[in-house]
Structure 1
């Protein structure tokens, strides 16, 4: 239903990755899903949305229509080719200059720190409110690698702290991320807002389970996702009851060797035949893969939310997730899935087997997961965003 108040002109800035890319391809992940679906939901409400991203191919047009009232623009900044994620810091100034050709806007909302570093100076020059979403936040350089977060250069942490303090508001995807913004980046808790993601419960829906039980791990093939833990756990499940493990996703430019490392680990644990790499999936392909699975495992070291958990819930598929960041909010332990604080493979093998061996437990988790997920729509997420946008505009 169209808004009754004047529509907004909104810029969503995603410098390093296009929201049109399916998650699991290169550096595309949950952020891409969130930005694309929030943009479409904002457009459906009648707002004029422009999504600004960097041109990463000579075949990309100047602009394309994503949906009603939503235009995706490709800006020239750096080589028109895929780049390692870390290199995008080099293109910030060029991207900011390219932004000058577009607008006018009422509000600018940046996603990831690269985007904010380009957009915050642009909004100051044009006297516009700037809202920042991080989607991932750098670990402190002193953090041990065992925490699962690679310590980043001091430049990133300093840049994120600047954005947290200087942006008009920070929009976090979970309470866990909001707490990190305040604790790690020094953001003002009064200016941090939590806007939860949604899920398309018509695409991600119930389907008959596969006759051959399998467990899914889905996302970028990146060590941060912890897919090695899923393989280690698989090796501890007795062969007579061992499910297949389906790995959906593609390595990013930074981790070209990671798929080979996972394959070698599977062979070393004697489960090479039980691990299937199916590559990146479209949204409809992923929905079918999740819905027909017996269990979805999310062994990530760090997640600001864990959108796959919500998508699995909409499919009525129980989740076994690490107690990392927003996953503790995406999965209700014992109600929609199992949340594990331990990273011991034996604990993961036990949790997966418990669901596989207990049809009543699997059914109970499936029902409550689906009910919870259907109450979390992208329309609700967009409504919450608009409320933040209008609040910031009213302050001016």
Structure 2
């Protein structure tokens, strides 16, 4: 294959930002890792995002063939995630301007991540005669869906924008079969224009620690150790469920480490989590560790007794795959979209079919106390993760790109 020139557009958050900080999450990991893998395969990749700090340069070049570009749209400062809808038009206009001037060269394909990016970039792609690929990473719930505590209602612009992008983009790339079903069923996309490209995992960064007690199926650890929840402190992540379950575990209870910062508009939820821990009598057992650098998160993960994924909804649940790569069992929500694909129930972790804290406590207690279970789940998870990496994910993505360019040849 001849090298492609690709634009990956991510308006509301730079993919290079550490996950768990502000609005950065699994999407950042997926976009950044795929971009690096595509560049390593010889393709020229521009990752285009909004300038959120005056000190950010016009562009940086983190590695050969990979450029991170910042466009001016709205104030050069962080914005609450919902406020980015107000700068979509400005971002699109700036993207169109630099494209018309040829400042970044001619792209073979534009791939937008999240609906903000797609609404801004699709008109630019159409004006250039360039194929447009859309990934959502999260999809708005129907208007009648009850909100979780502290969750803001979706704007009408998102509901309409996602449907438009699903129908008008040349291709939609979903990260899981669960997301693909949502794209076709809720947004009305043509199933023939939806492909699934699963994520990878860095098996060198996320790996088991065979030195820790209880690793490799050697039996329960002699001390309670810690459980880990990793993600933004956002109501959709359901971290309160982890705290409720912790309070129901028999003593001696493990520590619950929460790795992540509040999202840009969820400071009240973060404060409520502290209050909940105090109210349940486990404040001394809940450690709010803040956003972690990837290496530090990997170290926390490989030494955990289990990783909890308590989200109400996940398009995939990358944290679960990273836990498996670390040889650590996962306890996750069965009804949270793609988590049922990230976690093989009874093989790499346990899926809990309810959000009842007692059910979660029972599942966690099984992992902590049932002889051989943690080692078996962690070992199977590691074996599965070894078959997944970011290069394979990037190669699958390239196949999708070839399909999109065949549908809309460059003019």
Match of 1:286?
A: 297
Superposition RMSD in Å = 1.3
**1:26 Cα offset (Å):** 0.1
1:143 touches 1:151 (CA, 8 Å); kept in 2? no
Q: Which moved more, 1:124-133 or 1:386-395?
A: 386-395
Q: Does 1:200 align with 2:202?
A: yes
Secondary structure at 2:296's aligned position in 1? Answer: helix
Match of 1:312?
A: 323
Q: Which moved more, 1:97-106 or 1:311-320?
A: 97-106
- Partners of 1:80 and 1:145 lie apart in 2 by 31
Residue 66 of structure 1 is aligned with which of 58, 62, 67? Answer: 62
Match of 2:212?
A: 209
Match of 1:181?
A: 183
For 1:154-169, list aligned pairs within 5 A: 154-169=156-171
- Partners of 2:291 and 2:148 lie apart in 1 by 27
Q: Does 1:386 align with 2:398?
A: yes
Residue 224 of structure 1 is aligned with which of 236, 258, 263? Answer: 236
For 1:38-117, list aligned pairs within 5 A: 38-99=34-95, 100-101=97-98, 102-117=104-119
Q: How many corresponding residue pairs?
A: 391
1:51 touches 1:71 (CA, 8 Å); kept in 2? yes
Match of 2:219?
A: none
- Partners of 2:62 and 2:318 lie apart in 1 by 21
Summarize the Cα distance change of 1:45–1:230 in structure 2 as closer, same or farther, 3 Å threshold: same
Summarize the Cα distance change of 1:39–1:124 in structure 2 as closer, same or farther, 3 Å threshold: same
1:198 touches 1:380 (CA, 8 Å); kept in 2? yes
**1:150 Cα offset (Å):** 5.5
Secondary structure at 1:132's aligned position in 2? Answer: strand
Match of 2:23?
A: 27
**Which contiguous aligned blocks of 4+ residues in structure 1 show a shift greater than 3 angstroms?**
146-151, 208-212
Residue 155 of structure 2 is aligned with which of 153, 156, 163? Answer: 153
**1:145 Cα offset (Å):** 2.3
Summarize the Cα distance change of 1:147–1:138 in structure 2 as closer, same or farther, 3 Å threshold: farther
**1:143 Cα offset (Å):** 1.0
Q: Which moved more, 1:249-258 or 1:316-325?
A: 249-258
Provide the TM-score with structure 2 as the length reference: 0.93
Secondary structure at 1:363's aligned position in 2? Answer: helix
1:149 touches 1:301 (CA, 8 Å); kept in 2? no
Provide the TM-score with structure 1 as the length reference: 0.97
Structure 2 unmatched ranges of 5 or more: 99-103, 214-222
| Residues 46-85 of structure 1: CA deviation (Å, up to 9, x unaligned) | 0000000000001111111122210000110010000010
- Partners of 1:108 and 1:302 lie apart in 2 by 27
Q: Which moved more, 1:385-394 or 1:303-312?
A: 385-394
| Residues 303-333 of structure 1: CA deviation (Å, up to 9, x unaligned) | 0000000000000000000011000000000
- Partners of 2:231 and 2:390 lie apart in 1 by 21
- Partners of 2:298 and 2:109 lie apart in 1 by 33
Match of 2:269?
A: 258
Residue 352 of structure 1 is aligned with which of 364, 373, 377? Answer: 364
1:139 touches 1:150 (CA, 8 Å); kept in 2? no
